[in-house]
A = this chain, B = another copy of it.
Amino acid sequence: MPTSTDLLLTNAVVLTMDKKLTLYEPGAVAVTGDSILAVGPDEAMRREYTAKATLDCGGKVLMPGLINAHTHVPMTLLRGLADDLRLDVWLLGFMMPVEREFVSPEFVRLGTQLACAELIRTGVTCFADMYYFEEDIARTTAEVGLRAICGETVLKFPTPDAQSFEESLAASREFIIRWKNHPLIIPSVAPHAAYTCTEEILRACAALAVEFDVPLLTHIAETASEQENNRAAHDMPVVPYIKKQNIFEAKVLAAHCVHVDDGEIHTLLHHGVGVVHCPSSNLKLASGIAPVKPMLDEGLPVGIGTDGTASNNDLDMFEEIRLAAFLAKTASNDPTALPATQALTMATRMGADALHIGHLTGSLEAGKRADLILVDLSGLHNTPRFCRTREGVYAQLVYAGKSSDVTDVMVNGQWVMQSRELLTLNEAEIRSQAAVYARKIDAFLAEREQSVLSKLVAIGGAEEEESFEVQVKVRIADPAPVLAALEMPGIEVLRSRHYHEYDTYFSFDDPKQGHLRYREDEFIEPNGQVSGARYRLTHIGPARERRFESDVLLSRSRFIAPATHSLRFYREYFKPSGEASIKKDRLRWRVLFQGTEFFINLDHVEQPDWGYFIEVKSRTWSRRDAEHKAELATGLLELLGAPPEEAVAQDYVEIIER
């Protein structure tokens, strides 16, 4: 007696992408509810199953939907915003300012719709995403009907949806609880990267992922400088460093891994980490070529991702699969490396394994969810077709196939595209709404073209951002008590420096432009000799973020860059409306006070003749930490003999301008 099924897909070249790469030509697939009931040869399947509905696939390829294992879907709205730029200029000059200004629940909903439309058109049924307002991304994705792993990005900086990492973490916890058992959405935890998180953040994220047994998404070793900086700061590469923060206790999905050595590959393997190769993004940002062949040879599950469209500039997995095969051949100097079957496996079954959802999707096997696509290989660019070997059809898909060959897409048993028509999205509506955003962003950036910061960025400045700083400054009559206090127990001096600082502040008619400081430091040796000089340019934002008791401040945004040009050059380039000079003699100490690191500056402002100031500073990345450090700073000032109640709220330049 035949078994009944909801839907029988017949007369297809069925690539199951199972472990044996079983291929049925012609083959058929039976779908019941959200799942695959059976897969097999066409004739046998027709005999064994009676279906409520049958679809003749007309000889098309029927295969698992592609898995885009790393992306940031709402960034699709920023596609083509700025290209061919240095990473710092692109990120600090364009992406971050635009995200700060525009990213909202409405923005991410539209961006997710736009991305989902493109993903469906290119044969993707499942993706892994990390961005902001992830709740809205998840809801939109579920409405469209795609499968996704979603993680709210956690950073040490303020983000468009959180003032501090504690807020992001709290939101992540609620997000996980709400979505834990959804049929399409797998919630996750997404600390951005080692270099954008603190150890505390990494540990907290790992603990959260373990607590709820959800995946943890992060970026690992994307650039050579990330590795260099990590070694400089922590004396070890990125992988062992984050291992120390317990990251690998979670089910990790690691994007990029461009600069990992054999030892790190081994560590990733040992801890069951899934890796995502993002070839276009790595090439376009000049990050390098990931050692994919060595990773695969070791047995690591490596998926393929597009990354966000801001660095790609599309979500076309066909391109990424082909590039993955191409790059592995060139990187290993071996044209047999990463053959078509393996490349396609990475984008399907292995991608699902990397995402830790191999039990759900990634291949056409009885019991897995019905996530599948139809691909028409009859186009001219696929002509002719050689059938001599089983490998032929995989090679055709990988080396000649195009995303536009995808005609039908089903996720979880539901069609989301049929005969190239999207069933759950209104393309025209998305396009026109996206155009409205583009016009707004264009206008915002065009206006900003006048701004000091953008001009700084435009000449390659703004390497480093200092967002948050606890800072308090007090005018003192006599420096002697300070020097004496530093000899006392309670303050441990880690390092001291002495320099002359010559600051020139540019000011502008529009006070929102903030100030630009050209700073020349002469380093003074204990014997009074000048041992060197440093020239820096700092853009100081116009407003403080927040103010605490006793005028202990979280400072404004600061962009610092080496000043490679002369003061004259910057004066001509920025055309300031005002200029002020300050000369001071500074003694600077890095100290440990009650277990916390502070910088103490003892400034003798010689020109104008203002006398002495004592400044206490500490970096911070969280609100709670800032409050704690503000309290400590007050205690430290008292210990140094400076009355905190006489704190000066302004920067030196503001005192001058007063």
- Chain B residue numbers with a CB within 8 Å of A330 are 282-283, 286-289
Q: Of all chain B residues, which has the CB nearest A333?
A: B286
Question: Which of B280, B326, B378 is the one whose CB lies under 8 Å from A283?
Answer: B326
- Chain B residue numbers with a CB within 8 Å of A315 are 381
Q: A316 at interface (Cβ–Cβ under 8 A)? A: yes
Distance between Cα atoms of A384 and B427 in the complex (Å): 12
Contact at A84–B335, with CB atoms within 8 Å? Answer: yes
Contact at A435–B385, with CB atoms within 8 Å? Answer: yes
Q: A77 at interface (Cβ–Cβ under 8 A)? A: yes
A427 to chain B, nearest CB (A): 6
- Chain B residue numbers with a CB within 8 Å of A334 are 286
Contact at B329–A284, with CB atoms within 8 Å? Answer: yes
Contact at A445–B286, with CB atoms within 8 Å? Answer: no
Distance between Cα atoms of A202 and B330 in the complex (Å): 30
Distance between Cα atoms of A337 and B286 in the complex (Å): 9
| With A86-B335, A380-B117, A392-B80: A313-B434 Cβ-Cβ less than 8 Å | no
Contact at A442–B284, with CB atoms within 8 Å? Answer: no
Contact at B85–A434, with CB atoms within 8 Å? Answer: no
Distance between Cα atoms of A79 and B381 in the complex (Å): 9
A381 to chain B, nearest CB (A): 5
Interface string of A11-44 (1 = CB under 8 A from B): 0000000000000000000000000000000000
Q: A52 at interface (Cβ–Cβ under 8 A)? A: no
Contact at A284–B326, with CB atoms within 8 Å? Answer: yes
Contact at A380–B427, with CB atoms within 8 Å? Answer: yes
Q: A47 at interface (Cβ–Cβ under 8 A)? A: no
Q: A83 at interface (Cβ–Cβ under 8 A)? A: yes
Question: Which of B340, B380, B441 is the one whose CB lies under 8 Å from A430?
Answer: B380
Distance between Cα atoms of A427 and B383 in the complex (Å): 10
Q: A373 at interface (Cβ–Cβ under 8 A)? A: no
Question: Which of B378, B395, B400, B434 is the one whose CB lies under 8 Å from A383?
Answer: B434
Contact at B283–A340, with CB atoms within 8 Å? Answer: no
Q: Of all chain B residues, which has the CB nearest A387?
A: B442
Within 108-139 of A, Cβ neighbours of B (below 8 Å) are at 114, 117-118, 121-122
| With A329-B283, A332-B286, A402-B402: A316-B381 Cβ-Cβ less than 8 Å | yes
Contact at A87–B286, with CB atoms within 8 Å? Answer: no
Q: A386 at interface (Cβ–Cβ under 8 A)? A: yes
Q: A339 at interface (Cβ–Cβ under 8 A)? A: yes
Interface string of A277-298 (1 = CB under 8 A from B): 0001011111111000000000
A488 to chain B, nearest CB (A): 51
Distance between Cα atoms of A388 and B336 in the complex (Å): 45
Question: Which of B332, B384, B403 is the one whose CB lies under 8 Å from A79?
Answer: B384
Contact at B431–A378, with CB atoms within 8 Å? Answer: yes
- Chain B residue numbers with a CB within 8 Å of A141 are none
- Chain B residue numbers with a CB within 8 Å of A415 are none
A386 to chain B, nearest CB (A): 5
Copies of this chain, complex-wide, total 2
Q: A314 at interface (Cβ–Cβ under 8 A)? A: yes
Q: Of all chain B residues, which has the CB nearest A120?
A: B380
A378 to chain B, nearest CB (A): 7
| With A80-B396, A383-B431: A388-B442 Cβ-Cβ less than 8 Å | yes
Distance between Cα atoms of A641 and B50 in the complex (Å): 88
A455 to chain B, nearest CB (A): 15
Within 353-394 of A, Cβ neighbours of B (below 8 Å) are at 378, 380-381, 383-388, 391-392
Distance between Cα atoms of A80 and B384 in the complex (Å): 8
- Chain B residue numbers with a CB within 8 Å of A400 are 79-80, 309, 313-314
Contact at B85–A335, with CB atoms within 8 Å? Answer: yes
Question: Which of B380, B386, B435 is the one whose CB lies under 8 Å from A81?
Answer: B386
Q: Of all chain B residues, which has the CB nearest A115?
A: B380
- Chain B residue numbers with a CB within 8 Å of A280 are 326
Interface string of A86-102 (1 = CB under 8 A from B): 11001000000000000
Within 303-332 of A, Cβ neighbours of B (below 8 Å) are at 309, 312-316, 319, 323, 325-327, 329-330, 332
Distance between Cα atoms of A384 and B313 in the complex (Å): 11
Distance between Cα atoms of A378 and B431 in the complex (Å): 8
Contact at A312–B80, with CB atoms within 8 Å? Answer: no
Contact at A118–B380, with CB atoms within 8 Å? Answer: yes
Interface string of A524-549 (1 = CB under 8 A from B): 00000000000000000000000000
Contact at A402–B404, with CB atoms within 8 Å? Answer: yes
- Chain B residue numbers with a CB within 8 Å of A81 are 386
A468 to chain B, nearest CB (A): 29
Contact at A84–B340, with CB atoms within 8 Å? Answer: yes
Q: A599 at interface (Cβ–Cβ under 8 A)? A: no
Q: A53 at interface (Cβ–Cβ under 8 A)? A: no
- Chain B residue numbers with a CB within 8 Å of A76 are 383
Q: A648 at interface (Cβ–Cβ under 8 A)? A: no
Q: A438 at interface (Cβ–Cβ under 8 A)? A: yes
Distance between Cα atoms of A384 and B77 in the complex (Å): 6
- Chain B residue numbers with a CB within 8 Å of A404 are 402, 404
The residue in A77, A84, A122 that gathers the most chain B C-beta atoms within 10 A of its C-beta is: A84
Show 7 residue pairs from A and B whose CB-CB distance is below 8 angstroms, ordered by the A residue: A76-B383, A289-B330, A313-B399, A383-B431, A383-B434, A386-B442, A402-B404
Chain A residues in contact with chain B, CB under 8 A?
76-77, 79-81, 83-87, 90, 114, 117-118, 121-122, 280, 282-289, 309, 312-316, 319, 323, 325-327, 329-330, 332-337, 339-340, 378, 380-381, 383-388, 391-392, 395-396, 399-400, 402-404, 427, 430-431, 434-435, 437-438, 441-442, 445-446
7 interchain residue pairs of minimum CB distance: A384-B438, A84-B339, A283-B326, A313-B399, A83-B395, A384-B434, A286-B335
